[in-house]
Structure 1
Amino acid sequence: MEDRINADKAPEPVGLYPHARKVGNLLFLSGVGPRKRGSKEIPGVTLDEEGNITSYNIEEQCHSVFQNVRHILEASGSRWENLVDVTVFLTNMKNDFPVYNKIYAEYFKENQPCRTTVEVNALPTPIAIEMKCIATI
């Protein structure tokens, strides 16, 4: 059985990796950002002519990331409630963590997976948040 999953509704990976891999009854998701499938559009991000971020809305990006994670989970035979571990990368912890934390609490009222949130200097595309997850199937 093929253990690599690429979800039809999630944005295309920006490198040579699948959206997720199944190992036993566990599902490991690659880092998921807020991009929209089939385009370079990033919700809540304004870029200049050279592709540099001029402004962004972390709230819009959070909602989009969570939706993309949901697409991958569902395409993999899992679901949101099966998430057991979440690692979130933010490019600006000081400014974005309070908003992200509030939105996170809305999405995880019932299921509360283990969570780690770290600040990184940059992400591979001009985004402010990326999420890596482990779920059961």
Structure 2
Amino acid sequence: MTKQVVFTEEANPPLPIYSQAIISGKTIYVSGSIGIDREFKLVEGGVQAQTRAALDNLTKVLKGAGVTRDSVLKVNIFLTNLQRDFAPLNEVYQEYFPTNPPARTCIGVAALPLGADVEIECIAELP
């Protein structure tokens, strides 16, 4: 197995315990992203603002790997309040994947790092 670490200065820096993404073969595994700024502070504006920040960061990591969101095969979303935040999250999500959306799972969780409302990770494919 060949494993290549993806790192881009454009995206939020990863903590030392994980990589922004890993490429294995033709598959890119992008680490979960929460709605934070570069100083690891939650963005204000609730789940929609955090969703935008997380998806913007994922987009930057994908770009660093040489692909766009069109290459995303699967998205996993974790929400701390599934009942309240599912619809507002979807409004933003559709802006990022307006056509041919990837496969997706959305799971309710008890808590996320830094008190975030949402965390999003994805798997994409190299051309």
For 2:99, which of 106, 110, 124 is the aligned residue?
A: 110
In the comparison of the two structures, how many residue pairs are matched?
125
Q: Distance in 2 between matches of 1:40 and 1:6?
A: 17
Percent identity over paired residues: 29
Paired position in structure 2 for 1:134:
123
Displacement after TM superposition at 1:7 (Å): 2.0
Q: Distance in 1 between matches of 2:54 and 2:100?
A: 17
TM-score scaled by length of structure 2: 0.91
Paired position in structure 1 for 2:37:
36
Paired position in structure 2 for 1:89:
78
Paired position in structure 2 for 1:51:
none
Secondary structure class of the residue paired with 1:36: coil
CA contact (8 A) 1:10 1:36 kept: no
Runs of 5+ consecutive residues of structure 1 not aligned to the other structure: 45-55
TM-score scaled by length of structure 1: 0.85
**Larger gyration radius, structure 1 or structure 2:** 1
Displacement after TM superposition at 1:30 (Å): 1.0
Runs of 5+ consecutive residues of structure 2 not aligned to the other structure: none
Alpha-carbon spacing, 1:121–1:80, altered in 2? closer, same or farther (3 Å): same
Paired position in structure 2 for 1:60:
49
Displacement after TM superposition at 1:15 (Å): 4.7
Q: Distance in 2 between matches of 1:13 and 1:129?
A: 17
